Amino acid sequence: MVASDKSGSESTGAAKTAAHSGALYVVATPIGNLQDLSRRALDVLGSVDLILAEDTRHSAKLLAHYGIGTACRSFHEHNETHQVARVVERIAAGERVALISDAGTPLISDPGFRLVAALREAGHAVIPIPGASAVITALSVAGLPTDRFCFEGFLPPKASARRRHLQALSTEQRTVVFYESPRRVKQTLADLLTEFGRDRRAAVARELTKIHESVLSGTLAELQRWMEEHEEQCRGEFVIVVAGAAPAQEEDDDTADVSIRDLLRLLVEELPVKRAVAVAARITGGKRNALYRQAIALSGTESKDVVEGED
């Protein structure tokens, strides 16, 4: 529960405890525009004993801009495991430590999970200092449904793994959010078009809150074509937001599902599962992944994630 004092400041039970003992503050920093750093974040970064930063050289610019001279130590994916025990010891001894990433909210596609888990397991205070997040920023301006969404982070860099991952997400009905690098953004859009369909609505947010910020929306086909024609726009940091799949249309007479199930049952009795699914898909026009899952359930054989060659 949050309580407000007469001056309007807010504090939680964890924050009050932290004032007299050690704690980790998970501090969100700007994703571009330095003015997006909150007053509370400034107070915390200026008063803690140590700042853990993903890249100290990058964070030095932010800290120097605000005249913050707190000691800063690197904390990234390659040294996180080694650093956790030391940081827990310091906090156990009563020190107050802030964790920041290069941009946005720590732990969101950034290191910190092991540290937070270890501190919570040991019973130490872990206090969020909220602020910017590229995921939420992109969702707020994408013009796509935001009541339900899922965040997938960075897609696999290898094309085959990326396509398999997208194929598994192709029927997801929630809005889906991805991060992507400038090196792969065009290929990722091409793969999204292939796996999700050319008419699926989406938005590409580039360089959010920065000087060259842009947010493009349209179908995946339109966005891919635009990116191909504007090579200069393939620079910077990207967030791709894609509308969820339309719910499967239900027949007024639910015997349609029964007939498909009966058809599959007959086919799997006579044919290998993949062949049975292929025949059922040709007859019914249904999606092969959905038919495959039903066939696996009927046959009792071990399932795979997707059907090879799924369109």
- CATH number among 3.30.950.10, 3.20.20.120, 3.40.50.170, 3.40.50.720, domain 135-242: 3.30.950.10
Q: How far apart are CA 67 and CA 57, in angstroms?
A: 15
For the stretch 85-129, pLDDT in tens is: 999 999 999 999 999 999 999 999 999 999 999 999 999 999 999
pLDDT tens-digit readout, 219-248:
999 999 999 999 888 899 999 999 999 987
Residue 16's nearest CA partner among 90, 70, 96 is 96
Q: Using N-to-C axis directions, what is the helix angle for 220-229 and 185-196, rounded to 10°?
A: 160
Instruction: Give residue limits of the domains in the chain.
Output: 13-132, 135-242, 255-299
Segment 155-191, tens digit of pLDDT: 999 999 999 999 999 999 999 999 999 999 999 999 9
- The closest alpha carbon to 245, from 189, 287, 291, 280, belongs to 287
With tokens 């004993």, the residue in question is: 49
- Is residue 28 a contact partner of residue 133, using CB atoms and an 8 Å limit? yes
Q: CB within 8 A of 218, min separation 6: which ones?
A: 201, 202, 226
Q: What is the pLDDT at residue 296? A: 82
pLDDT tens digits, 7-52: 344 445 555 555 558 999 999 999 999 999 999 999 999 999 999 9
Q: Which of 72, 77, 76, 78 is nearest to 60 (CA)?
A: 72
Lookup result for tokens 């860099």: 157
Three-state DSSP state, 244: coil
CB atoms within 10 A of CB 152: 16
Q: Output the pLDDT for position 259.
A: 64
Domains 13-132 and 135-242 share a fold: no
Whether the model pTM is above 0.75? no
**DSSP category for residue 29:** B
The span from the CA of 153 to the CA of 135, in Å, is 9
DSSP letter assigned to residue 104: B
- CATH hierarchy code of domain 13-132: 3.40.1010.10
Largest CA distance in the chain: 77
Calculate what percentage of the chain has a pLDDT beyond 70: 86
